[in-house]
Amino acid sequence: MAVELSFRRKAWATFALATSFALETLDDAAFTAMYLALSAGLNISLAAVGSLSMWRGIFQALTTPLAGIAGSIVNRMHLIAAGTALSAAMYIGLGAATTGIQAIVFCAGNGIGLAFLLPIIQSVVSELYIPSQRGKAFGCMLTTAAVGGVACSILAVTYSRGKVGHIQGWRAVFFALAGVYAGVSLLVPLLGQAALRQLREMGACFGALFRVRTFLAVLAANSVWVICNGGVGFMVVYFQLLGFSNGTCAALVVCWRMGIAVGNSVGGALGDVAAARLPNSGRVLVSQTGLLLATPLCIILFRVMPASAARTHGMAGGQDHLAPQYGALLFAINAFSLWHCPNNSSLYAEVVPRQMRTSVYALDKAFNVALYAVSGPLAALLATRAFGFVDPPRLSSTSIMRRAFSKPSKVLVKSISN
């Protein structure tokens, strides 16, 4: 049953929740775009930079089940505000970090803050909208996150390797993210309790969840998707090493994330239509169709396009003439492959009782974050141990980096298109 709110109140609640929902995407976008800058600034390897996300993911996965329990007994808006405030503090620490160990500590703390965002927000959204609107609602949330990721990626790629005033660019990006998180932590509590219902029932929710077969199927599908995307964190550095300039890399990231925005929006709308006509299989059919269309495009991107690992010369800007083709492919991949995201969130709301939804979203997030935490470092390990990738000199230009570049595209295509 959807919570009854006035149109104005529901619009305000949706805006605040969508803004909060976007914060994890901003984190991913920032780290994805700043691998080389973080490697040089903290004097650590690219694999070590990838492990920062792993530590964040581990602590997020460990804390997320606790967030699900807390969401059953505490004002969920206050939990969201507390999580964003903690993450804001951790970003200030990241911006001031000088060693890899310090960065690990602050990333772990950020993971604890992020644990209180997505599952609780998803639970509230599922109560705000009736079943026939949930696909579009979750699609709107994911689209907002993708648009925020576009802005963050442009900011990070453009400024991370330079300076903003007297501050290193990557530090300035983290300080800017801290400001965004702090602002959201002040915005969310203004909703009060009108957009939610306190859940006082605590019991054997997690045990009951594993008796719902549809929940298990969706959880398994989500887990496979997360593992297969383990190499995406290296996307920007991959394009930089191929020979695309920083400006072009920023444009490619925009295409990639705009595809995410369109894919989530279209997928949610198609899922609502399909569910109305085929209640038992419509959303699943839409999700699988999108993945089927995206897989051959991934293979084309990494193994067929001219600027592949075997053909590139690594000169900065040398591949910029291929940007339109790459941009179109990146957009198309996500415009199809993300159809499952809003539909899976809607399926959870449809197959479990309302009082268990926070626990459902928390459990799903815990599994996915734990898998994502290890999949990135695993992709880095395969690149270095199996395919001969060697870290580029950390203070060198992209033209010199080509000597370190071997065959990481095989890792990326295997991780994405499995």
* Among 17-21, 109-113, 120-124, the range of highest mean pLDDT: 109-113
Assess if residue 257 is contained within a domain: yes
Is it the case that residue 391 has pLDDT exceeding 70? Answer: no
Matching residue, tokens 């599994």: 367
DSSP assignment letter at 162? S
Number of C-alpha atoms within 13 angstroms, CB side, residue 264?
21
Assess if residue 361 is contained within a domain: yes
Distance, in Å, from the CA atom of 243 to the CA atom of 311, rounded to the nearest integer, reads 11
DSSP assignment letter at 380? H
Assess if residue 38 is contained within a domain: yes
Band of the pLDDT at 178, cuts 50, 70, 90?
very high
Assess if residue 194 is contained within a domain: no
27-31, 330-334, 389-393: range with lowest mean pLDDT: 389-393
Confidence at residue 279, expressed as pLDDT on a 0 to 100 scale:
85
Given CA atoms 218, 374, 43, 88 in this order, what sign does their dihedral have?
A: positive
Burial of 324 (0-12, 13-18, 19+ CB in 10 A): exposed
Confidence at residue 102, expressed as pLDDT on a 0 to 100 scale:
94
**Which pLDDT tens digit goes with each residue over 42-67?**
988 877 887 888 888 889 888 888 87
Q: Characterize 197-227 residue by residue with b for buried, 16 or more Cβ atoms within 10 angstroms of its Cβ, and e for exposed.
A: eebeeeeebeeebeebeebeebbebbbebbb
Distance, in Å, from the CA atom of 87 to the CA atom of 275, rounded to the nearest integer, reads 37
Confidence at residue 143, expressed as pLDDT on a 0 to 100 scale:
83
Assess if residue 80 is contained within a domain: yes
119-128, 359-368, 389-398: range with lowest mean pLDDT: 389-398
What does the mean pLDDT of the chain come to? Answer: 77
List the alpha helices (DSSP H) in 210-311: 213-228, 235-242, 246-277, 282-299
Q: Tell me how far CA of residue 302 lies from CA of 163, 308, 408, 413, in angstroms.
A: 32, 6, 10, 6
The C-alpha angle 336, 338, 340, rounded to 5 degrees, equals 110
Q: Characterize 126-155 residue by residue with b for buried, 16 or more Cβ atoms within 10 angstroms of its Cβ, and e for exposed.
A: bbbbebeebbbbbbbbbbbbbbbbbebbbb
Q: Which residues constitute the domain of residue 361?
A: 7-189+208-417
Band of the pLDDT at 93, cuts 50, 70, 90?
very high
Assess if residue 290 is contained within a domain: yes
Band of the pLDDT at 319, cuts 50, 70, 90?
confident
Q: Tell me how far CA of residue 219 lies from CA of 106, 118, 152, in angstroms.
A: 29, 16, 29
Is it the case that residue 206 has pLDDT exceeding 60? Answer: no
DSSP assignment letter at 386? I
Confidence at residue 207, expressed as pLDDT on a 0 to 100 scale:
60
Q: Tell me how far CA of residue 326 lies from CA of 165, 307, 314, 351, 413, in angstroms.
A: 33, 9, 16, 39, 15
Confidence at residue 400, expressed as pLDDT on a 0 to 100 scale:
39
Give the number of other Cβ atoms within 10 Å of residue 393's Cβ: 12
Confidence at residue 398, expressed as pLDDT on a 0 to 100 scale:
42
Is it the case that residue 389 has pLDDT exceeding 70? Answer: no
Given CA atoms 35, 156, 234, 303 in this order, what sign does their dihedral have?
A: negative
Assess if residue 195 is contained within a domain: no
What SS3 class is residue 163? Answer: strand
- 366 vs 290: which has the higher pLDDT: 290
Is it the case that residue 4 has pLDDT exceeding 60? Answer: no
* Among 1-15, 67-81, 395-409, the range of highest mean pLDDT: 67-81
Matching residue, tokens 């999580």: 83
Task: Identify which of 2, 6, 1 has the alpha carbon closest to the alpha carbon of residue 191.
Answer: 6
Confidence at residue 109, expressed as pLDDT on a 0 to 100 scale:
93
Count of domains forming the chain? 1
Confidence at residue 195, expressed as pLDDT on a 0 to 100 scale:
40
Band of the pLDDT at 170, cuts 50, 70, 90?
very high
Band of the pLDDT at 364, cuts 50, 70, 90?
confident
- 320 vs 94: which has the higher pLDDT: 94
In this prediction, residues 135-146 reach a mean pLDDT of 82
Is it the case that residue 95 has pLDDT exceeding 90? Answer: yes
Is it the case that residue 194 has pLDDT exceeding 50? Answer: no
Confidence at residue 417, expressed as pLDDT on a 0 to 100 scale:
46
Share of the chain above pLDDT 90, in %: 11
Distance, in Å, from the CA atom of 77 to the CA atom of 17, rounded to the nearest integer, reads 9
Q: How many residues does the chain have?
A: 418
Assess if residue 1 is contained within a domain: no
Given CA atoms 223, 366, 180, 28 in this order, what sign does their dihedral have?
A: negative
**Which pLDDT tens digit goes with each residue over 266-282?**
988 898 899 888 888 88
CB contact at 8 A, 201 and 69: no
Confidence at residue 344, expressed as pLDDT on a 0 to 100 scale:
82
DSSP assignment letter at 305? S
Confidence at residue 230, expressed as pLDDT on a 0 to 100 scale:
64
Q: Give me the CATH number covering residue 392.
A: 1.20.1250.20
